[in-house]
């Protein structure tokens, strides 16, 4: 069950990316030459990376770390 939830989460995370498409070319004698296409996507980091690196989660990360050490 957890595997299915994890797979769905990973699939939806990639779907939230902001993508841009650029294309440009030179026109000579009514023909396109030097055509270049660029497709770029900006994705957020996954939730684990955000949890570890983002400033707004630093207290929660500290508490999780302390609780884990306490239970060991």
Q: What is the DSSP string of 2-69?
A: HHHHHHHHHHHHHHT-EEEEEEEEEEETTEEEEEEEEEEEE-PPPHHHHHHH-GGGHHHHHHHHHHHH
- Split into its structural domains, the chain has a count of 1
**Is 8 contained in some domain?**
no
pTM over 0.75: no
**Is 4 contained in some domain?**
no
Question: Which residues constitute the domain of residue 42?
Answer: 17-71
pLDDT in the model for residue 16: 62
**Is 7 contained in some domain?**
no
**Is 10 contained in some domain?**
no
Q: Would the pLDDT of 26 be above 80?
A: yes
**Is 62 contained in some domain?**
yes
pLDDT in the model for residue 7: 65
**Is 12 contained in some domain?**
no
**Is 1 contained in some domain?**
no
Query: 11 falls in which pLDDT band (50, 70, 90)?
Result: low
């Amino acid at each position: 069950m957890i595997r299915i939830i994890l797979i769905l989460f990973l699939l939806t995370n990639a779907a939230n990316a902001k993508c841009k498409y650029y294309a440009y070319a030179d026109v000579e004698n009514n023909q396109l030459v030097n055509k270049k296409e660029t497709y770029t996507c900006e994705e957020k980091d996954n939730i684990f990376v955000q949890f570890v690196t983002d400033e707004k989660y630093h207290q929660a990360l500290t508490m999780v770390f302390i609780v884990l050490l306490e239970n060991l």
